[in-house]
Amino acid sequence: MLTSFYKMHGLGNDFVILDARIGALPLTPDRIAALAHRRRGIGCDQLVTLHPPVAPGADVFVRFFNPDGSEAGACGNASRCVADLVWRQTGNATPVLQTSAGVLPTRREPDGQVTVDMGAPRIHWQEVPLAAAVDTLHLPLPGDPAAASMGNPHATFFVPDFAMLAQGAALEHNPIFPDRANIGFARMDSPERMRLKVHERGAGVTEACGSGACAAVVNAVRRGLAARTCTVELDGGTLRITWSEQTNHVLMTGPATTAFEGTVDLAAYPQ
């Protein structure tokens, strides 16, 4: 059974996008992991599936899966890529994405970049989630991180350099994060500019993390370290993030790139 796929990336955070809008695809966590494998599969940081929308006003329902097979409620870079794909397919420059974490309006900018309204950050401990009723602005961990969710859990460490990146895997699995967490390391170069590296939950260090950039700016603003509009410099490039005072929503603007299209025989991958 040959299935078409799109290989796309947002600042080097790369995705295999499969279209399940015309019919369900036989995907299991093991098959997702096999497809995401860098040598034995197509290879990607996340596998993304498209489904018929259910939410009123949504153009497509999008699901995000990490290469370990786990599902995530948000993926900022992939959301920009799906919005770009829908525009290429339909000419709709403002597609609305339904995700398990909420309905995300998007907009194609005149320069070809894509803005996604990532919704409001969740900053209560139960929403991140955390395992205990602690202040999410100062978690009881060495390095004093803050935590927030953009529909997926993020911890942000404010650091002078990136020596702590090597601790990302252990921190991802720290028991304070019952659903694990994406671990961001942010160096504030000015209130308007942040350098960020992210060890992603279920994926490891990626070239960019869109939801991680959103959470890092939210946490930096909460700490009084950043302006509400901040340029986030990641390994793969830069994102513009604004945490709106009026709407409490976080807007993320950045590129979306198609690398290639292909077909894959899903039956050739383990169930």
Ligand X SMILES: N[C@H](CCC[C@H](N)C(=O)O)C(=O)O
In terms of CB distance, is 143 or 204 closer to ligand X? Answer: 204
Residue 156 found at the interface with ligand X (CB under 6 A): no
Q: Tokens in use for 50?
A: 């498209």
In terms of CB distance, is 95 or 168 closer to ligand X? Answer: 168
Q: Which member of 44, 209, 214, 230 is catalytic? A: 209
- 13 is an annotated ligand-binding site residue: yes
Please, what's the b/e burial string for 157-178 (b: 16 or more CB within 10 A of its CB; e: otherwise)?
bbbeebebbebbeebbebebbe
Residue 122 DSSP class: B
CB of 72 to ligand X, least distance (A): 4
Residue 75 found at the interface with ligand X (CB under 6 A): yes
The interface with ligand X within residues 176-215 (CB under 6 A) comprises: 182, 200-203, 206, 209-212
- 210 is an annotated ligand-binding site residue: yes
Cα torsion 76, 77, 82, 88: sign: positive
Could you tell me where the beta strands, DSSP code E, fall in 66-118?
A: 71-72, 96-99, 102-108, 114-117
Stretch that binds ligand X, among 21-29, 74-82, 94-102, 140-148 (CB under 6 A): 74-82
In terms of CB distance, is 18 or 74 closer to ligand X? Answer: 74
Cα torsion 37, 38, 42, 48: sign: positive
Q: Calculate Rg over the CA atoms of the chain.
A: 18
CB of 247 to ligand X, least distance (A): 20
By the 8 A CB rule, do 115 and 255 touch? no
CB of 63 to ligand X, least distance (A): 11
Stretch that binds ligand X, among 34-42, 67-75, 87-95, 261-269 (CB under 6 A): 67-75
Tell me if residue 230 is catalytic: no
Q: Tokens in use for 58?
A: 């949504």
The site map against ligand X for 27-66 (x = CB under 6 A) is ------------------xx-----------------x-x
In terms of CB distance, is 45 or 84 closer to ligand X? Answer: 45
- 152 is an annotated ligand-binding site residue: yes
Please, what's the b/e burial string for 17-50 (b: 16 or more CB within 10 A of its CB; e: otherwise)?
bbbeeeeeeebeeebbbbbbeeeebbebbbbbbb
- 200 is an annotated ligand-binding site residue: yes
The angle formed by the CA atoms of residues 44, 180 and 211, to the nearest 5 degrees, is 55
Phi/psi region, residue 119 (left: phi>0; alpha: psi -120 to 50; beta: rest), is left
In terms of CB distance, is 28 or 190 closer to ligand X? Answer: 28
State the amino acid at position 36 in one-letter form.
Answer: A
Q: How many CA atoms lie within 13 A of 143 on its CB side?
A: 21
CB of 206 to ligand X, least distance (A): 6
Residue 116 found at the interface with ligand X (CB under 6 A): no
Residues that bind ligand X (CB under 6 A): 13, 45-46, 64, 66, 72, 74-77, 152, 182, 200-203, 206, 209-212
Residues placed in the known binding site for substrate: 13, 46, 66, 76-77, 152, 182, 200-201, 210-211
Q: Hey, which residues are catalytic here?
A: 75, 209
